[in-house]
Structure 1
Amino acid sequence: MLQYDQLSLGAGLIEAELPDLSGQTVRLSAFGEPFLVVMFICNHCPYVKGSIREIVALAEKYRGKVAFVGINPNDYERYPEDSPEAMQTFATAHNFNFPYLLDRTQAIAKAYKALRTPEVFVFDQSRKLRYHGRVNDAPKDPSSVREHTLDLVLAALVQGQEPPVTEANAIGCTIKWKPGNEPSVTIG
């Protein structure tokens, strides 16, 4: 069985400084809200397209309590639909209410050990990882969602409770790695 290394629960926020859609640098540690959602997303993945409305709605629902940031790690030279220009179009079309950043080198995706889009990492007030995984259980088909996993986690955390789930396999497309940049695999 193939196994990929994952960021451990309780791990600290991995700092990143990435450009947003206007070219301004955004630091992950600069967000002042008590909780931070770091999401690896892109423009072309049908799983992102199917869950983006829920993501935008959650960012609005938890405004002031939870900061959201989207990071596009895909190789846009081989997948032009994930280019910076296409990111702007996608963000505008979906009324993004959070920064959408570009991970040109894929170093941040690798540091987070992210494998999919969408893939979510939730950090608490101390910027320790409290949840890693999916947005919901049917990200490609919003009408089939039975569990809004990220919403359940955030609702518990903002009320000072333990999240009902701390890990749920991310469901989505694989990150489109630049040739030779793929994550390492162990066979177990």
Structure 2
Amino acid sequence: MQKSLPLLCLLGLFALLTSAVLVENGYQVGDVATDFKLKNVDGQMMSLKDQKNAKGFVVTFTCNTCPFAKLYEDRLIQLHQKYAPLGYPVIAINPNDVKASPGDSFAKMQERAKDKKFPFAYLYDETQEVAKRFGATRTPHLYILQKTANGQMKVAYIGALDNNSGDPEKVTQRYAETALNSLLANQVVAQTSTKAIGCTIKWRAEAQ
């Protein structure tokens, strides 16, 4: 892990300097998120409304290839295992263009999900429309949605899962868990947004 930290720092700096703001409009905290229907790695189409007993969702834009996304996979698995039984399952979405990033093809997603034994849905945003709608720019980029009394999905938190993308042993602030704990306790989320750190989403060439 120690050897990978300088590389991750360089990757993070490169991502910050070269990020193209292709998504100017996206969800803000407090907005109502519209449902979507995407293909899961099991070949089945999935939407938010399919999980009727959910209190909300941890929607995470991620991928197979980004070093940051890979470092967060185990933490996402742990997050799902802890909060899915409480009503907040993780839903991972891969928005990367396969031409720009062949390692993020649907077949590779299936391989990755099998190898890592993902307990959560891993969906393919082939058209990138869902990522654009949310305003996602990086992998990983996390959105916590809370179901309201009338069944709408309200955005409660946007940003990073925690405050150390490189080393889980050095995490001192668990942003997503803190937000989820507040929602489960019917309390106001104190910190509703943080900066997502990761690789830029690989948009289709025509989008640029």
TM-score (norm 1): 0.90
**1:139 aligned to which of 165, 170, 181:** 165
Which runs of structure 2 are paired with 1:29-178 in the superposition (5 Å)? 29-32=49-52, 33-64=54-85, 65-126=87-148, 127-178=153-204
Deviation, 1:137, is 1.2
| CA deviation vs aligned residue, 1:80-118 (integer Å, no higher than 9, x gap) | 111111111211222211110000110111111110011
Paired position in structure 1 for 2:45: 25
Instruction: Name structure 1 gaps, 5 residues minimum.
Output: 183-188
Question: For the residues of structure 2 that align with 1:108 and 1:137, how far apart are their CA atoms?
Answer: 26
SS in 1 for 2:188: coil
- Whether the 8 Å CA contact 1:118–1:170 is kept in 2: the answer is yes
Structure number with greater Rg is 2
The one-letter amino acid of 1:42's match is C
How many equivalent residue pairs? 181
| CA deviation vs aligned residue, 1:10-56 (integer Å, no higher than 9, x gap) | 11122110001122110123223112111101011111111111111
TM-score (norm 2): 0.82
SS in 1 for 2:180: helix
Instruction: Name structure 2 gaps, 5 residues minimum.
Output: 1-19
What RMSD, in angstroms, separates the aligned Cα atoms of the two structures? 1.6
Q: Which has the higher helix share?
A: 2
Question: For the residues of structure 2 that align with 1:118 and 1:28, how far apart are their CA atoms?
Answer: 20
Deviation, 1:180, is 2.4
- Whether the 8 Å CA contact 1:137–1:171 is kept in 2: the answer is no
Question: For the residues of structure 1 that align with 2:133 and 2:40, how far apart are their CA atoms?
Answer: 19
